[in-house]
Amino acid sequence: MFRLAALFALLPTALLADDTNWTHWRGPNANGSAPATPPLKWDAKTNIRWKASLPGKGSATPIVLGNRVFVLAAEKTGRMAKPSELPKVDPKYQTKTEPPKHFHRFLVLCFDRDTGAKLWERKVAEAVPHEGHHNSHSYAAGSPTTDGKFIYASFGSFGVHCLDLNGKQVWSRDLGRMNTRLGWGEAVTPVLHGDSLLLNHDQEGDSYLHCLDTSSGASRWAAKRDEKTSWNAPLIVERGGRTQVIVNGTNRIRSHDLATGDVLWSCAGMTTNAIPSPIRFGDTVICTSGYGPGQTLAIPLDSKGEVAAEGVTWRHKGGSPYVPSPALADGRLYFTQQNEALLTILDARTGKVLLDRERLPGMKTFYASPLAAAGRVYFIDRTGTTLVLKAGETLDVLATNKLDDPIDASPVAVGKQLFLRSSSALYCIEEPR
C-alpha cells in the first residue's frame, strides 16, 4: 500500500491522463470521452466483475487511480440532534425542502479495482445539514479528483478535504455555508490544475469561485460572482500563454484568469440552472444549458471583455441538456434534451445539426452524462438502463443493458472496465479475461 503511494508521488500529473486512470468526473479529456474499450453488453448477472455496497446515498461519480477506485457518500446516522444542535435556517432564502434533524456522516471510500474489496473508509465531517435536498438529489453529489498524490473531495457546506492515498486526512477547509436554490442541495466538484484547486460555490447567497493551494488548502483568491446556484464544475484551459478557468452560469459564462481570478471575458446566453459543465473544442469553449428553451454556444477562447452576439462562433437553440453535460468525440457533440430521451448530435466545429432530437428507444430520463469510448456512446438513464450507440451521425443502437438499479452518477471507463455508481452500490463491469 505504501509502495503504491510512493510510486504515484513520483508521477507528474500529465501522466495521469491516459487509459489507466480517470482522475476527474468528466474523464481524462474533460469532455466525457476516454481512450478505453469498455464492455458492450452486460446485465445484473453477466459481465459484472464485482459489486460493492456503499453506505448512505450519493450520486458522485467515482474516480480511478491505478488499482484504486475512490467514491464519496453521505450517510444518515441514528444520532438525532438536540434542539441546541440544529443549525439555524435563514428565512430570507425560499426553500421547498425540509432540513433533516439527524447528524450525517460525510465519507470518502477507497476500493480495490481488481476485487472490489474496500481498502478504507474515512469520515471527513459529521454534521446536521442546514437544508434538505431535492428528492432526486443527495448530500454526496460533487465528485472527487486526484493529482496522483492526494484525493480532493468537497461536500460544499461541509468542507473541502484533502486525503492521502491511504485515507489520512491532510487538511480540511470550511468555505462557509451554501444556500441552494429552493433548498435543492449542493454539488461542488473540485478541479485541479498544477498546485491550484478550483471550486465553484455558486449559490443563492454570495457566490464565489475559490482557488486553493493544494498543499495546504489556503486561499489564493476568491472571485465574487454575480450568479445564483448553478451546480457546474469549472473547465481549465491553456490558451495564448494564459490559463483560463471557465465557469458556466445563468447570467454569464465567464473566463477567469487562474493567476488572479480576474474575469478575462464573459458571454450571456444561458438559462436558469446552468448545470452542464463547459467543454473545449479546438480554439473554442462550448457551453450549454437546458432549463426551459435551452441554449448551446461556442465561444472563442481568445475573446476579451463582454462577448457580443456576433462574437460567438456558433449558437444552437433547443434540445440541450438540463442536468447532464454533453460528450464530445471525433468532432461531434452528443447531448439529450433537458433530462429526456431525445438525442441531438451537432458538428462541434460549426454547430450544424447532424441529428435533431431523435428518441432513444427504451430510455426514460437522464441525470448521468454520456460517455464516448471505443467508437461508441453510452447513455445511462435513471433506472440503470444503458443504451450503447455506434458513434456517428445516425441513431445506430448496438446494445441495451439493464441493471434495475437507479443510477444518477456518470459512467467511468478505464482500460477494459466500466464503473457505474448507483445510489447504493459501485459496479465494475468487464468481460471475462
Pairing assessment for the beta strands 305-307 and 263-267 based on DSSP bridges: parallel
Residue 331, pLDDT > 70, answer yes
Alpha carbon dihedral 19, 148, 49, 1, in 10-degree steps, equals 140
Angle (CA) 135-141-147 rounded to 5° is 175
Residue 32, pLDDT > 80, answer yes
Average pLDDT value for the chain: 94
pTM of the model: 0.94
φ/ψ (deg, to 5) at 57: -145, 150
Per-residue pLDDT of 361-395, as tens digits, reads 999 999 999 999 999 999 999 999 999 999 999 99
Q: Are the beta carbons of 222 and 265 closer than 8 angstroms?
A: no
In this structure, what C-alpha cell is assigned to residue 111? 476500493
Residue 17: predicted pLDDT: 52
Residue 416's pLDDT band (cuts 50, 70, 90): very high
Residue 3, pLDDT > 60, answer no
Beta bridge partners of 197: 192, 212
1-30+62-226 domain in CATH 2.60.120.20? no
Residue 4, pLDDT > 60, answer no
Residues 6 or more apart from 314 whose CB is under 8 A from it?
Answer: 297, 298, 350, 351
- Separation of alpha carbons 171 and 173, rounded Å: 7
Domain ranges of the chain: 1-30+62-226
Q: Are the beta carbons of 25 and 421 closer than 8 angstroms?
A: no
Residue 169, pLDDT > 80, answer yes
Residue 433's pLDDT band (cuts 50, 70, 90): confident
As a whole-number percent, the residues of the chain with pLDDT over 90 amount to 93
Residue 14, pLDDT > 80, answer no
Residue 334, pLDDT > 80, answer yes
Residue 240: predicted pLDDT: 87
E strands, 6-67, are 48-53, 63-65
Residue 7's pLDDT band (cuts 50, 70, 90): very low
The DSSP annotation for 73-124 comes to EEEEEEEEPPGGGSPPP-TTS-BSS---SEEEEEEEEEEETTT--EEEEEEE
Residue 141: predicted pLDDT: 96
